Amino acid sequence: MRRSTAVFFGATVVLAGSLTAVPAEAAMTQSPISAQVARVTWKKCGTDATPTLQCGTLKVPLDYAKPRGRQITLALSRVPHTATKYQGPLLVNPGGPGGSGLSLASFVASSLPKAVAAQYDVIGFDPRGVGASRPALDCRPGHFDPVRPDSVPSTPAIEKANLDRAKAFAVACGRKYADLLPYIDTISAVKDMDSIRKSLGAKKINYFGYSYGTYLGQVYAKLFPGEVRRLVLDSIVDPDGVWYDANISQDYAFDARQKALMAWIAKYNATYKLGTDPAKVEARWYAMRGELAKKPAGGKVGASELEDTFIPGGYYNGYWPTLAGAFAAYANSGKTGPLVKAYQSMAAIDASGDNGYSVYAAVQCRDVSWPRDWNQWRKDNWTVYKKAPFMAWNNAWYNAPCAFWPTKSLKPVSVANDRLPPVLLFQATNDAATPYQGGVTVHRLLKHSSLVVEQGGGNHGISLSGNACLDKYLVKYLTDGTVPRGSGVADAVCRKTPDPKPAAAQPAKSALSDGSDAPAAVSDGDTLHRLIGFRG
């Protein structure tokens, strides 16, 4: 694991002069719509929470080398600006690959101070292949139906069963979408983003991305540096690791987050009664895993599904009380109901999840070359497993279709960039999905960037999630381009959001409830992490 180092550095605040040299209204003067890009027609689709929400679609080339060839359709959402001072479109993306961004526009617009949100058209979009965009991918419906083979290939038969699943997924994708897969990749998605910019008549865009959305932002900035006005990247993909090495790094980081959960459970032994020694609590978790491998809970939660259920706890500690309660109920009393409920709420894959995974695989397998020799995967993942067993093989099988993917791979994009205005970066030191080194690397590669660190934080997606210190920097930047400047690795440091208490509000009803309970309190963190999802 690329472990973080302490980053307690002083920071001063400077103004990004290049962003404020002219009034925002003048900077956002509309440019003519390209003859090859139509203007989006917006229709009302408001909700009680966001009554001004609008929806639209945009046709773009499947293959940008053939702009007048086959067209595909992108689904868009917009919360329009209402202030006299207009700072242009703010495109937002929750990550993935494969994450739907339509709902994120409403979240960002409602989470920012009203006076700031009112100055932007907040634009959500489903990237090509995703959600409401057409065509949408679904390579192999039911690929994650329980009960799957044990993720740990402890016997040749178990390894073969997992390999057969991975090959079957890749073959199914190739058969169903041979005409689409060569164009489902990050570069094509980035070109779609610029088509959105053109369709809006904007000379420049503002962009705010989480997780994989930070890689979209990096690549967009590389290909279209002159079209970037403001750029916010939160929980940052390390461009040096896409994508095979990045997944290996995740394995170590998620194992550390699982250990943090075990330590948290031990701290609250009075509630969970699983012991006060984190190592012994963890041993009980692995004992539970062994039992479920033999007899899945409710006929649904085997060893692999148990891992699926606890992986979200590595993304967001707001899920810890639910996970700990399910663990305790099974380990102490043999009750399977809470565990099955947690699996159904946090890990079970529906049609939307099938679509998201299909796009995830299509993008990652196409973006860069992956090892085609399974012996390398076997060697690398057993090496990881010896030190970090929690997610090693689960993650390997999640990405294994790339060893058999039917399309040729692209070359990695060098995102190093000295042509941008000031850029704002957010990174937690203990983030598992996008480990801390990614923030440090991108800070170095983007010459005019500023890095804001949540020291000791382990959540993935940290701004607009309840940390006022982090949000202060985001609001300043979106207001007038102000960024912090420090003398060390980090330009500014914020304390982490406190871990939850056992009696804390459970995750949002829409994310975790089966509908039988009264609605739980919904925090910004709950809502954001439902939108970001997992594996991105």
Active site residues: 211, 431, 460
Identify which of 345, 348, 331, 333 has the alpha carbon closest to the alpha carbon of residue 282.
331
Contacts for 336 with CB less than 8 Å, ≥ 6 apart? 297, 298, 301, 330
On the CB side of 204, CA atoms within 13 Å amount to 20
Q: Which two tokens stand for residue 526?
A: 């709950």
Distances (CA, A) of 336 to 288, 301, 345, 420, 516: 11, 9, 14, 53, 17
Q: For the chain, how many residues are written?
A: 536
Identify which of 257, 177, 206 has the alpha carbon closest to the alpha carbon of residue 434.
257
CA dist., res. 165 & res. 511, Å (int): 28
CA dist., res. 522 & res. 237, Å (int): 28
Contacts for 90 with CB less than 8 Å, ≥ 6 apart? 108, 120, 121, 122, 123, 205, 206, 207, 208, 230, 478
CA dist., res. 477 & res. 507, Å (int): 30
Ramachandran quadrant class, 515 (left: phi over 0; alpha: psi -120 to 50; beta: rest): left
Q: DSSP readout, 109-158? A: HHHS-HHHHTTSEEEEEE-TTSTTSBS---SSTTTTPSPPPPSS--SHHH
CA dist., res. 151 & res. 161, Å (int): 10
Could you give phi then psi for residue 368, rounded to 5 degrees?
Answer: -145, 165
| DSSP-assigned letter for residue 488 | S
User: What angle (nearest 5°) sits at the alpha carbon of residue 404, between those of residues 402 and 405?
Assistant: 60
Q: Which two tokens stand for residue 336?
A: 């399977």
